[in-house]
Structure 1
Amino acid sequence: MDFFTPERIEKTKALARDGKPFIFDDGDMRTLHFNEQVVQSAMRLSAPDELVIPYTQAMAGFLSLHPLPQHILMIGLGGGSLAKYCYRYIPSARITVVESNADVLSMRDQFMVPPDDARLRVVHADAISCIESLAVGSVDVIMLDGFDASGTPPTLRSSDFFMNCKAVLDDRGVLITNMGDQHAHIVGTVTQGQRVFGAFHHWWFKLAMDNSHIAIAVNADDDAVSDARLRTAALNIAEQFSLELVYPKNLMQE
């Protein structure tokens, strides 16, 4: 579906209000916005657990690196697409979702996010303080998808933030990040991610069909997981989800 036809842009523009989130329905499609220029989340009313936007499908690629996670931490609820997908299709996982925007949380039921239970917990909290409170090595996968009306907050692309993520990830745990399409934010995220995780344990991908970018990092300091094995997994993810491997390019040389 084309989310940016002139008619849709005009309709969503009329609903925009000072960077506050709002919902727009168009037939079977429900979308979450902060403005008329960006779709934060999308859901088919007839298939609420489906991953509609390509970047969300690509973020499911973490399963190639960690197929049986026990604890998934999600930063940013949005319309709950990733939370619903993981809740339905990864029954072994306990899922914690951290969302700092109360207005976004208030739309949870409209996006059919399941109620909290033994496997799913959605909390209204700051991501930084939440991660700092977690035990070392207590998380298998971190899915970073935290955005506001201006894009990725600076605190979620800082060196301290990535150090905290690395600390709470277990051995061979995975951090997968939606970097959006703002070049300065992407470069900052990649630079800090490489610095903390190491260049050959951190990859930057671009979606072939649009200008979205994601990053994947693996907490693998020891020799138990070879660089060659991680490189193969990265290339498999790129092929499976039609991603262009932007960095490090030398992963593709052999």
Structure 2
Amino acid sequence: MNFFTPERIEKTRALVRDGKPFVFDDGDMRTLHFNEQVVQSAMRLSAPDELVIPYTQAMAGFLSMHPAPQHILMIGLGGGSLVKYCYRHFPSARITVLESNADVLALRDQFMIPADDARLHVLHVDAIAHMQKLAVGSVDVIMLDGFDAKGAPAALRSHEFFFNCQFVLAERGVLITNMGDQYDNIVGTVTQGQLVFGAFHHWWFRVTTDNSHVAVAVCAIDDEASAASLRIAALDIAEQSSLELVYPKNLASE
């Protein structure tokens, strides 16, 4: 579906209000916006658990690098596409979602996100402050998809943030990041991610179908055997998900 036809842009522009999130329905499609230029999340009303936007499909693909997570930490609720996917496909996993925007949380029911229960907890907190309270090695997968009306907050691409991610991830834990298409966010995420996780445990991919970008890092011992096996797994997933490896390019030819 083309989210940016002149008619849709005109209709969504009329709903923009001081950077607050809003919902727009177009037939079977429900979308979340802060403005008329960017779709934050999309859901088919007839299939609310389906992953519609290509970057979410790519992020879900990398969950196979840790196929049986016990604790999934999500930063950014949005329209809950990844929350609903993980809730359905990982019934043994505990899912914690960190969302700082109360207005986004208020739209939860409109995107058919399950209510909190023994497995799912959606918290209205600052992500960095909350992560500092988590125990070392207590998380198997971190899915970072945190954007506001201005884009990706700089704090979520800082050295402190990536250090906190590495600290709370268990051995072979995976950090999967939606970088969008903002240059500053991509450069900051890749630079700090590789500094903290190591160049051979952090990869930058472009989603070829919509020009968004995804980064993947694995918390693992930095040795040749580990790097080789992780490289093969990452590139296999990328091939299945129509992703182009952007950096480090040399991994594709070794």
TM-score band, normalised by shorter chain: over 0.9
User: Contact 2:141 / 2:174 at 8 angstroms: preserved in 1?
Assistant: yes
Structure 1 match to 2:4: 4
Report the CA distance between 1:211 and its aligned residue. Answer: 1.6
Q: CA deviation at 1:64?
A: 2.3
SS at match of 1:226: helix
Give me the whole-angstrom Cα distance separating, in 1, the residues matched to 2:91 and 2:225.
26
Q: 1:234, CA displacement in angstroms?
A: 1.1
Measure how far apart 1:242 and its partner are: 0.1
Equivalent position of 1:69 in the other structure? 69
RMSD, matched Cα:
1.0
Q: Which piece of structure 1 moves more, 224-233 or 238-247?
A: 224-233
Map 1:12-161; keep pairs closer than 5 Å.
12-161=12-161
Q: Given residue 37 of structure 1, which amino acid in structure 2 is its aligned partner?
A: Q
| Cα displacement (A) at 1:62 | 2.1
Give the structure-1-normalised TM-score: 0.98
**Sequence identity of aligned pairs in percent?**
79
Letter of the structure 1 residue corresponding to residue 181 of structure 2: D
1:184, distance to aligned residue in structure 2 (A) = 1.5
Checking the alignment, whether the CA contact within 8 Å between 2:97 and 2:121 is kept in structure 1 is yes
**C-alpha separation between the residues in 1 aligned to 2:183 and 2:160?**
21
- Distance in 2 (alpha carbons) for counterparts of 1:59 and 1:227: 20
Match of 1:206 in 2: 206
Alpha-carbon distance between aligned partners in 1 of 2:19 and 2:119, rounded to the nearest angstrom: 32
- CA offset at residue 72 of structure 1? 0.1
> Is the CA contact 2:62–2:234 (under 8 Å) kept in the aligned structure 1?
no
Task: Give the TM-score normalised by the residue count of structure 2.
Answer: 0.98
Q: Structure 1 regions of 5+ residues with no counterpart?
A: none
Number of residue equivalences = 254
Q: Which residue of 2 aligns with 1:179?
A: 179
**Paired amino acid for 1:7:** E
Secondary structure, counterpart of 1:133 in structure 2: coil
Give the superposition deviation at 1:223: 4.3
| 1:88-119, Cα deviation, whole Å (9 max, x unpaired) | 01111100001000000000000000000011
- Following the alignment from structure 1 to structure 2, what is the Cα–Cα distance between the partners of residues 7 and 225? 53
Q: Structure 1 pair 20/225, CA: closer, same or farther in 2 (3 Å)? A: farther
Amino acid at match of 2:50: E
**Deviation sequence 1:26-84 (CA, Å, 0-9, x none):** 00000000000000000000000000000000000222210000000000000000000
CA distance in 2, matches of 1:224, 1:208: 30
1:233 corresponds in structure 2 to 233
Q: Distance in 2 between matches of 1:63 and 1:141?
A: 8
Question: Which ranges in structure 2 are unaligned for 5 or more consecutive residues?
Answer: none
Deviation string 1:167-203 (CA, Å, 9 cap, x unpaired) is 0000010000000001121001100000000010000
* Match of residue 188 from structure 1: 188
Q: In terms of mean alpha carbon deviation, does 21-30 or 57-66 score higher?
A: 57-66
